[in-house]
Structure formats: structure tokens, C-alpha cells
């Protein structure tokens, strides 16, 4: 019994030291050491993300930022780090220390065998740098095998796919960067003309059928597509008749739909099918074509409270990367799906609280966190603008708000929602 007090003091002292070490460990730019053999992962996911590099105890790395964890606890978080060779990726928080580990037995670094992937595009340019503005240094074709050397940090949105650029080796001599969204573990067959109805069944704009215009003003175009010349416009709830439609669906303004040629009185022109509805009660704020998703909150029900990017976490009081956008709104404010899709899951997490994740036909996922209660179920097919939940303050949160994220999978890379959604109050 006499020993109890000094032991308690010792524990208290040690845990204080550990807390101080961990707080310092979160600061971007801090140099830390790897304390256990670890795989550097390309994406912030435990679910079999590609390994970029093998790390061994004693390797010195630099903190780029700490991810938010599903449990809200640091020990469960992943940290984005940079190696001495400049490679970036994610490793568990617990595999890092401020103190250089004492190495008693030598550890052999496992050699990463480059992963071979198939090209899924008919023709894919290989470039000198990670980006479409870089010089073309070669070409690979559908089902050619390329070897992934590493993934760059540069992410892009091309043909409805968000992915990063991969440095690859191909043929006998060639190497360079290709867009990762056109690589797959499986061989592919060229796509058939037509479209994929597997995710959602839109209101089919059948030729001869009648629809109502959803936005306040809908621009009529000479040709189908966002680059089609605007020749006229029709106003909200005008009844229009479909006289022709395109063959391929696109995800625009939340709707996975076709381009249709319509007739309204003497006016004729092409419009995006998602801006039409068989009901006259489905208004849309605008007919903007440059954003794929719609705002999941109704105008006037919220106030933007935090942007995407690095910030001081309101609960942890340390610098954290904020992987989404926050909108303060009263408890129970309706949340609507940002686009057509399928509910990937609804889950309870200590960090995100009641979290709904929706998978969209362009491969992106939207996350709706901290809800007071769910408004949908896993597996449900949802349409853009359909209610899926209610604003709340569950999980790690200081007040009622919607935390909204855009990712390329469950535990995938996150992207700035402002690049995908038009929020009227931000004028972007
Ligand atoms: Zn947030």
C-alpha cells in the first residue's frame, strides 16, 4: 500500500510527457521517427490501400498533416508524412515518435515489388510530370501493363474520376506519369455505346414525353453538352416536350442523366435532362453546369462555419487538416443528397458521430457527419435533393452543424467540396 502513491505519481508524470510528445507530434513540419516496420499507404485507408514505400524503425519522416479519425482519438488517426526521399503517404499515428528508437537487432527493409496495373483507356498519354499540362513522353494502350513506381500527391478530376497521378514504368525502357484513374487491376473490354443504369434509374427522358423545367431559367443550347452555344431560355415550370436525346449519361448538378432536345412552343434546343422533372414541384436553384453536385442544404437554412484545409481543431485545439466543409444549422435541419447515388453506409463513429456516406455514379462519395438522426438506410437508392438526414452535433463537435466531405471511396482521398458543389453564399 505504501508503494501506491509514488507509482501513481510516476504514471501521472509519464502520461503528461506522452501527452506533450503527442501534441508536438501533430504539428505539420515536425520531424519524427518510425518506431515499427510500417507500410506507407497511398490513401488514408486501412482497407488495402496501395503501398508506396516500406518504412523501418529509425527512418526520419516529416509530418504533412494528421487526418481526422473515425473514433476521434489521435491513437487511431493516420498521419500524412513525407519521407527523406520526398515520397508522401499515410501511416498510423502510433508508428511515430519524437524520439529516435534504439535499434538492437538490424531490420531488413522489404523491397516493394512494383504493382502491375492494366490501362483502361483506349489511348493513354504518358507525361513528363504529374498533370495534363506536362509534355507527352509516350503512349500506352488499353490493357497494356504498367508498373507503379509511386503515386504523386497531385490529384485531378478527369472524365468524372478523381485520382492521383502515378509514376509508371512501361515496355522495356519507358517511364513517366499517367493519370491513375485510367489504371485497373483487371483487363477491360472497350465500352459498348449506351449508358449504365446500374446505380440509379433517372426519370427517363423518353422521346415524346412531357416534363417541367426545374431551374428559374433554363438555357437552351444549339448542341448537347456544356459547351453547346446558348440560343434561348425557358422559365421554371414551363411544360416542354422531349424530341431527341443523347446516348451517354453524365453526372451534372447532382443528376445522372442524358442530354435532351426539347420543344417549348416555337423554341427548340438541348438541355441537360436533370433540369427537367415529371413533377412541377422539384425546383432547382440554377442550371449551373460546372459543378457535379448540388448543395445538400437549402438556401437560408445554414451559415458556413469552416472551410476545407488546415486549421486549429475546435475540440483538440491543435493543428489538424479539416477534410470537409462545415455549415452551422439548427438541430433537425434537413440534409439532402448532393447527387443521385446509393447509400454506401450509415454508421455511428466517435469522431464523425452519425455519419451517412453516399456513393455516386462518377465514383465519388459524399459524407454527411454529426447528424442528430439518420434519414435513410444503407443500400438505399437516392436521388439528388432527396432528404437523407438531419443536422445535429453527434461525435466530436462543438455545436449543431453539417460536416460535408467529398472522397473517392470509403477511407479514400478527400477533396475540397468547393470544387464540386456550388454554395451560393461563397460566390465561387
Ligand atoms: Zn468539419
Cβ–Cβ under 8 Å, residues 112 and 150: no
Q: What is d(CA 153, CA 141) in angstroms, rounded to the nearest whole number?
A: 24
Q: What is the band of 32 on the pLDDT scale with cuts at 50, 70, 90?
A: very high
* Comparison of pLDDT for 9 and 385, the residue scoring more: 385
Cα–ligand 1 centroid distance for 400 (angstroms): 11
CA angle 134, 138, 144 (to 5 degrees): 125
pLDDT at 11 over 70: no
Residue 254 inside a domain? The answer is: yes
Say if residue 62 is exposed, middle or buried (CB neighbours under 10 Å; 0-12, 13-18, 19+). Answer: middle
Residue 158 inside a domain? The answer is: yes
Cα–ligand 1 centroid distance for 208 (angstroms): 46
Residue 357 inside a domain? The answer is: yes
Residue 90 inside a domain? The answer is: yes
Please indicate, yes or no, whether residues 86 and 41 belong to a single structural domain of this protein.
yes
Q: What is d(CA 136, CA 150) in angstroms, rounded to the nearest whole number?
A: 19
Q: What is the band of 194 on the pLDDT scale with cuts at 50, 70, 90?
A: very low
DSSP type of residue 13: H
Cα–ligand 1 centroid distance for 367 (angstroms): 11
Residue 85 inside a domain? The answer is: yes
Residue 102 inside a domain? The answer is: no
pLDDT at 311 over 60: yes
Domain count, the chain: 4
First to last CA, the chain: 66
Residue 249 inside a domain? The answer is: yes
Q: What is d(CA 251, CA 253) in angstroms, rounded to the nearest whole number?
A: 7
Cα–ligand 1 centroid distance for 415 (angstroms): 13
Cell numbers describing residue 126:
504518358
CATH code of the domain containing 255: 2.30.30.40
Please indicate, yes or no, whether residues 369 and 420 belong to a single structural domain of this protein.
yes
Please indicate, yes or no, whether residues 340 and 265 belong to a single structural domain of this protein.
no
Cell numbers describing residue 279:
413533377
Please indicate, yes or no, whether residues 346 and 402 belong to a single structural domain of this protein.
yes
Please indicate, yes or no, whether residues 364 and 415 belong to a single structural domain of this protein.
yes
pTM: 0.72
CATH code of the domain containing 347: 2.70.70.10
pLDDT at 18 over 80: no
* Mean pLDDT of the 242-266 span: 88
Q: What is d(CA 407, CA 201) in angstroms, rounded to the nearest whole number?
A: 23
Distance of CA 218 to the CA centre of its chain: 29
Please indicate, yes or no, whether residues 268 and 343 belong to a single structural domain of this protein.
no
Domain housing 404? 303-426
Residue 418 inside a domain? The answer is: yes
Cα–ligand 1 centroid distance for 320 (angstroms): 11
> Which residues are found with C-beta within 5 Å of the ion, ligand 1?
326, 403
Q: What is d(CA 92, CA 95) in angstroms, rounded to the nearest whole number?
A: 6
Cα–ligand 1 centroid distance for 321 (angstroms): 10
Q: What is d(CA 294, CA 385) in angstroms, rounded to the nearest whole number?
A: 8
Amino acid at each position: 500500500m505504501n508503494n501506491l502513491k509514488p507509482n501513481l505519481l510516476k504514471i501521472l508524470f509519464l502520461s503528461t510527457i506522452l501527452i506533450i510528445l503527442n501534441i508536438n507530434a501533430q504539428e505539420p513540419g515536425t520531424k519524427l521517427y518510425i518506431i515499427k516496420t510500417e507500410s506507407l499507404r497511398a490513401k488514408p485507408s486501412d482497407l488495402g490501400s496501395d503501398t508506396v514505400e516500406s518504412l523501418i524503425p529509425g527512418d526520419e519522416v516529416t509530418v504533412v498533416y494528421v487526418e481526422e479519425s473515425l473514433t476521434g482519438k489521435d491513437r487511431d488517426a493516420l498521419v500524412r508524412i513525407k519521407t527523406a526521399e520526398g515520397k508522401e503517404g499515410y501511416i498510423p499515428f502510433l508508428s511515430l515518435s519524437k524520439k529516435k528508437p534504439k535499434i538492437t537487432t538490424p531490420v531488413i527493409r522489404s523491397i516493394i515489388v512494383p504493382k502491375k496495373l492494366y490501362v483502361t483507356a483506349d489511348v493513354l498519354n504518358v507525361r513528363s510530370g504529374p498533370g495534363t499540362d506536362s509534355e507527352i513522353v509516350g503512349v500506352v494502350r488499353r490493357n497494356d501493363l504498367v508498373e507503379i513506381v509511386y503515386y504523386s500527391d497531385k490529384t485531378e478530376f478527369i472524365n468524372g474520376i478523381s485520382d492521383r497521378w502515378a509514376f509508371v514504368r512501361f515496355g522495356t525502357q519507358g517511364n513517366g506519369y499517367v493519370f491513375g484513374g485510367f489504371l485497373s487491376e483487371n483487363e477491360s473490354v472497350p465500352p459498348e455505346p449506351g449508358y449504365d443504369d446500374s446505380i440509379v434509374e433517372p426519370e427517363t427522358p423518353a422521346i415524346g414525353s412531357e416534363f417541367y423545367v426545374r431551374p428559374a431559367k433554363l438555357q437552351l443550347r444549339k448542341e448537347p453538352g456544356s459547351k453547346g452555344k446558348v440560343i434561348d431560355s425557358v422559365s421554371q415550370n414551363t411544360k416542354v416536350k422531349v424530341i431527341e436525346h443523347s446516348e451517354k449519361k453524365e453526372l451534372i448538378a447532382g443528376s445522372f442523366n442524358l442530354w435532351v432536345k426539347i420543344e417549348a412552343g416555337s423554341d427548340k434546343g438541348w438541355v441537360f435532362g436533370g433540369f427537367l422533372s415529371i413533377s412541377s414541384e422539384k425546383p432547382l436553384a440554377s442550371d449551373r453546369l460546372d459543378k457535379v453536385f448540388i448543395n445538400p442544404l437549402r438556401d437560408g437554412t445554414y451559415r458556413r462555419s469552416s472551410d476545407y484545409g488546415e486549421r486549429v481543431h475546435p475540440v483538440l485545439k491543435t493543428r489538424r487538416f479539416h477534410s470537409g466543409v462545415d455549415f452551422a444549422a439548427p438541430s433537425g435541419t434537413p440534409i439532402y443528397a448532393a447527387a443521385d447515388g446509393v447509400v454506401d453506409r450509415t454508421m455511428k463513429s466517435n469522431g464523425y458521430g452519425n455519419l451517412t456516406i453516399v456513393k455516386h455514379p462518377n465514383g465519388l462519395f459524399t459524407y454527411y457527419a454529426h447528424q442528430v438522426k439518420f434519414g435513410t438506410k444503407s443500400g438505399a437508392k437516392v436521388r439528388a435533393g432527396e432528404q437523407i438526414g438531419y443536422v445535429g452535433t453527434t461525435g466530436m463537435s462543438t455545436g449543431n452543424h453539417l460536416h460535408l466531405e467529398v472522397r473517392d471511396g470509403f477511407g479514400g482521398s478527400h477533396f475540397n467540396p468547393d470544387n464540386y458543389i456550388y454554395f451560393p453564399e461563397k460566390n465561387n
